[in-house]
Amino acid sequence: MTQAIQTLLEQLKTLKSKNDWLGIYRKFQPITELPQNDLIWNNPKILSDIGFACAKLAETGSKEIFPIKNQNDKNDFLKQQAEYRKYAVLTRKRCIRIAPENAGYRSDLAYTYYQNVSELIQPGGRRDGNLRKEIEKFLEAVDETLNLHPKRIQDLYRKGRILTKVLPNQILWSRSYEDYGDFAEKSKRANELREQGIRTLLAAKELWENLWDESLRKRHRKNYIKSLYLLSQTYYDKVKQDWDESVFALSLRDDVRSNQQAVIDRDDELSINQAIETIKKCCKTDCPPELLQGVKQMQQNLEKLASHNGIEEGVNKLYSIGKFFFAKYWILSGYGLKETAKAIEARETAERYLQAALKCKWSSQKARQDKRFIAERLARIFISKGAYEEAISIIGTNTQNLRLDGAPSYVLHTCALALLKSGRISTSKRVLDRAAKSKGNRHPWSTRFLMGCAYLEENQIEAAQREFDLAHQEASRVGKKNVDSLLVGKALVVYKSGDVSGALKFLEEAQRLNPNRVSTGERIRKWQQSEA
C-alpha cells in the first residue's frame, strides 16, 4: 500500500468517525473526474467509503422536504440529492467492477436502489423518480448479491419487504403496471410475489435462529425482528376477507337460521393462525431480556411484551395482534354471519389489544402520528356487536359535529355504516358524500354501495338502484368481478319493487359467485316460499 493511499484511508477514517459525509464528498470533488485518478479509481476501499458518504447525503425523507416552502428552493434541493444518488451508484458500480466476487459491494448497490424505493413510496416524500424501474434495479442487484452469498440476512429481509409489501401494492393499484392485465391477473401475480417474499423472509428467519455466534445474533437481530413483523403482516394479507360492510348494511345475519353451521375457510384460518404465532414471536424477541424474564413469571403476558417500543413500535404490535384476532373472529363466524363461542372469544381478545394500542404511547419519533386507524378497527368490532353508538363515538364523531377532516375513505365508510345502522341515515349520506369527493378514495365502489344501502333504507328505490349500478361500474373499472354483495343489494331493490322472480335471479347469481355465503341461500329459500 502506497503512502498516499494510507494517508487517504486515515483521513477517511477520521471523517467517518465524525459522520462528516459532506467532508468526504468535498474531499473527492469533482466526483466525475475520479476515473482519471488511477490511485482512487482502482481502490475499492476508498470508492466504497465515497459511495457510502454520497448515499448518506442522498437520504431524502419527508422531514427534509417539508420545511422547504419555496418551490425553486425545493427543486434545487432535489436536484442536489439526485446528484448524490448518481455518484453513490457510480462509485458502487465501480467497486463491483474491481471486485466482482465481493457480495458486500453488490449489497451496497442494491441498498441504494432499495433506499430510492423507500423514499418514493413514503407519504410526503419525493416523487422525482421512476418507482417501477427502481424496484426492478433493486431486485436485479439483490439477486446478484444473494447468488454470491445466499446467507445475507439483511438482503433477504429487504428483498422480502419489496416482494411482500411494495411490489404487490404497486401491481394492484399503480397505473405503471396496467400492462399486467386486469385485476384478476394482477391479483394472481401479486399473490405469487407474496409467496416468494414469504419464502425469502422465512430464509432470513431460519438463518438467524440457527446462528450460534452471539455477536452475529446481536448484529442481525434488528433484521430478524423486522422479518418476523413483516411475515406476520403478509400471512394476514393472505386472508381472503376480514371485513364486509354488506353483512351489516344489508342485514344478512337476519337470514341465517339458529341451527346453521358457520362455513369456515380452512386456508384463511391457517393463514391467520400463522400471523398470530409470528407476531407473538416478534413481540417476545423485540424486548429487553430483563422484561422477558419478568414476564415469564407472569405466564408470558403478551400485552406487556407487545407494548414495548423496540425495533417495532409498541402501538403497531398491539394493533397488529388486535387486527389479527378480529380477522380470526371474522373467519370463525363464517365471515360475520354466525357467531360462535370461539369466534366471540377471538373478538374479545381483539378488542382488548386494540384498546391497549389506543392507550400505548408512541416512541418520541412517532409522537405526532394519530391513532385513527386503531379507532376504526375498534369501530368494526362494535358494529359486529351491534354497539353502533360506541362505534360512532370511538371514531370521534357525532350527529352534531363531524370531526372527520382528512379521514381516509375506509374510516368514512365505517363511520357511515355505524350511522346507517343507528338510524341516522341523512348523516350517514353526508359522510359518504365526503368519501365520494376524496381524491384518495381507493374503494369508490364501497362508497356507492353504502350510499345505495342508505337509499334502500329510506325506500328510495330508484336512487338505490342508481347507486348500486354506479357501485358495479366502479367495481368493474378496477377488475373486481366477485361482488356478490352488490347483487344482493340489487335483488333487494327489485324485490321492493314487487318483482320477486327478478330478485331471485340476482340472488341466484350472487350464490353462484359466493356459494359459501349461507345467508344468500336462506334468502332464496324465503323468497321462493313467499312466491309459492
Q: Which domains does the chain possess?
A: 259-369 (no CATH), 392-471 (1.25.40), 482-532 (no CATH)
Mean pLDDT, to the nearest integer, of 138-160?
98
Tell me if 162 sits within 8 A of 114, measured CB to CB.
Answer: yes
Q: What is the pLDDT of residue 295?
A: 54
Mean pLDDT, to the nearest integer, of 374-386?
96
Q: Which of 162-171, 177-186, 239-248 has the lowest mean pLDDT?
A: 177-186
| Residue found under cell 452475529 | 216
The conformation of residue 402, written as its DSSP 8-state character, comes to B
Amino acid at 47: L
Q: What is the pLDDT of residue 399?
A: 37
Q: What count of other Cβ atoms lies within 10 Å of the Cβ of residue 310? A: 20
Q: From 174, 21, 3, select the one nearest 88 (Cα to Cα).
A: 21
Q: Quick one: CA dihedral 135, 140, 144, 146, positive or negative?
A: positive
Q: What is the pLDDT of residue 194?
A: 97
Residue 490: left if φ>0, alpha if ψ -120 to 50, beta else—which one?
alpha
Tell me if 483 sits within 8 A of 472, measured CB to CB.
Answer: yes
List the beta strands (DSSP E) in 237-287.
Answer: none
493's grid cell: 331493490
Distance separating alpha carbons of residues 63 and 123, to the nearest angstrom = 11
CA distances from 324 to 92, 350, 436, 499 (A): 42, 7, 29, 42
pLDDT tens column, 27-79? 999 999 999 999 999 999 999 999 999 999 999 988 888 888 889 999 999 99
The conformation of residue 346, written as its DSSP 8-state character, comes to H
Tell me if 276 sits within 8 A of 323, measured CB to CB.
Answer: no
Mean pLDDT, to the nearest integer, of 445-451?
94
Which three-class secondary structure state does DSSP give residue 397? strand
Amino acid at 160: G
CA angle 169, 174, 180 (to 5 degrees): 90
Helix axes 3-17, 44-58, angle to 10 degrees: 30
Query: For residue 324, with 0-12 CB atoms within 10 Å meaning exposed, 13-18 middle and 19 or more buried, which class applies?
Result: buried
Phi, psi of 402 (to 5 degrees): -85, 105
Distance separating alpha carbons of residues 25 and 227, to the nearest angstrom = 34
Q: What is the pLDDT of residue 388?
A: 96
Tell me if 431 sits within 8 A of 416, measured CB to CB.
Answer: yes
Confidence of residue 288 (pLDDT cuts 50, 70, 90): confident
Q: What is the pLDDT of residue 401?
A: 43
Q: What is the mean pLDDT of the chain?
A: 91
Q: Quick one: CA dihedral 70, 72, 76, 79, positive or negative?
A: positive
Q: From 303, 276, 277, 273, select the one nearest 291 (Cα to Cα).
A: 303
